[in-house]
């Protein structure tokens, strides 16, 4: 476990526990510490209603509000609903509630409409012998310096203009194993000693790359390592940028739960470590070292699992 950090587990509200004490949880009561909200929810809500919500949150010991700053389609919501946002921030802060902004990374059609050359590359498939740029212009190449600069601009505005207490990177990952085959990613992989043509062949032929990971296939292991380092590098650059603006602003990331698994693909399939590291490329240990806290996504009854599955993710994280 990562020491001296908070781990937030998202269900209806956020379960929180500190990691500088022995792991424990109560079977009688779940202590909520944060909620995620959308700004447009409050457009027609009165100040009195927002104040009532604030009192309820404090009553339940929920002292962190995470506000969606940019939609999955790329709309800058903090600009679109600026008046409403400033109003609710003032009220929440009057009640001592901290304001975090969460920003989806990787998926950004709005940005790609203006910068199509920064789209991610899809793997070879039955229709394409070589990698090809995302035809839907939906997923961003995480090695793009232009996109990194764009996210930094958003972060700066949220901190300086909206008094953010925290910045959270959501979707800081690859969408799946089929994206991320640009020249930049290829070069990093080859520099590690990986056989690029073999990786392309595995994808082109539709071979079971997850089982190959179980078998410790060297090229597959290096490919997973390359991709996870790219994700970590992006997060690290944002973390450093935030620290350069203010040491008081918290930094966090949202994690896919499979990255916390210790199971092989053969054992657990989509809830296994190979599934998580190859599809999403989130290295829990590396990302947590950058973060003040992390938020593994653990939804009740996801994959048909019960609450014990959530407890397992808490322990593993």
| Residues sharing a CB contact under 8 Å with residue 154, sequence separation 6 or more, in sequence order | 69, 70, 76, 103
Q: What's the token pair of residue 130?
A: 């070589």
For the CA atoms of 78, 83, 84, 88, the dihedral, rounded to the nearest 10 degrees, stands at 90
CATH number of 6-176+228-316: 3.30.110.60, 3.90.1300.10, 3.40.50.1820, 3.20.20.80?
A: 3.20.20.80
- Token pair 């053969």 is found at 266
Give residue-wise pLDDT tens across range 134-185: 999 999 999 999 999 999 999 999 999 999 999 999 999 999 999 999 999 9
Q: In sequence order, which ranges of 143-214 are alpha helices (DSSP H)?
A: 145-162, 183-191, 196-204, 209-214
Give residue-wise pLDDT tens across range 44-103: 999 999 999 999 999 988 999 999 999 999 999 999 999 999 999 999 999 999 999 999
Contact 124, 90 (CB under 8 A): no
pTM: 0.87
Q: Provide the residue ranges of all domains of the chain, joining segments of one domain with +.
A: 6-176+228-316
Q: How far apart are CA 294 and CA 317, in angstroms?
A: 9
Measured in whole angstroms, how far is the alpha carbon of residue 220 from the centre of its chain? 23
Angle between helices 183-191 and 196-204 (to 10 degrees): 120
């Amino acid at each position: 476990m990562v020491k001296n950090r908070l781990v937030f587990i998202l269900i209806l509200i956020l379960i929180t526990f500190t990691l500088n004490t022995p792991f424990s949880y109560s079977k009688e009561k779940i202590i909520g510490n944060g909620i995620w909200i959308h700004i447009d929810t409050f457009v027609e809500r009165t100040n009195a209603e927002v104040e009532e919500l604030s009192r309820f949150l404090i009553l339940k010991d929920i002292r962190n509000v995470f506000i969606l700053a940019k939609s999955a389609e790329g709309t800058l919501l903090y600009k679109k609903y600026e008046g409403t946002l400033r109003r609710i921030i003032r009220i929440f802060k009057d009640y001592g509630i901290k304001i975090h902004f969460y920003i989806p990374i990787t998926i950004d059609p709005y940005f790609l409409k203006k910068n199509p050359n920064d789209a991610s590359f899809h793997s070879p498939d039955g229709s394409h012998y070589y990698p090809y740029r995302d035809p839907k212009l939906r997923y961003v190449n995480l090695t793009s310096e232009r996109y990194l600069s764009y996210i930094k601009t958003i972060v700066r505005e949220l901190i300086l203009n909206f008094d953010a207490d925290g910045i959270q990177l959501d979707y800081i990952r690859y969408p799946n194993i089929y994206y991320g085959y640009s020249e930049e990613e290829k070069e990093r992989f080859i520099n590690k000693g990986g056989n690029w043509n073999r990786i392309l062949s595995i994808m082109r032929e539709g071979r079971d790359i997850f089982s190959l990971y179980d078998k410790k296939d060297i090229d597959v292991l290096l490919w997973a390592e390359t991709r996870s380092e790219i994700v970590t590098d992006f997060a690290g650059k944002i973390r450093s940028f935030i620290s350069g603006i203010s040491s008081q602003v918290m930094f966090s990331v949202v994690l896919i739960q499979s990255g916390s698994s210790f199971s092989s693909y053969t054992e657990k399939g989509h809830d296994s470590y190979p599934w998580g590291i190859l599809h999403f490329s989130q290295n829990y240990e590396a990302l947590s070292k950058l973060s003040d806290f992390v938020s593994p996504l653990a939804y009740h009854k996801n994959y048909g699992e019960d609450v014990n599955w959530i407890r397992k993710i808490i322990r593993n994280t």
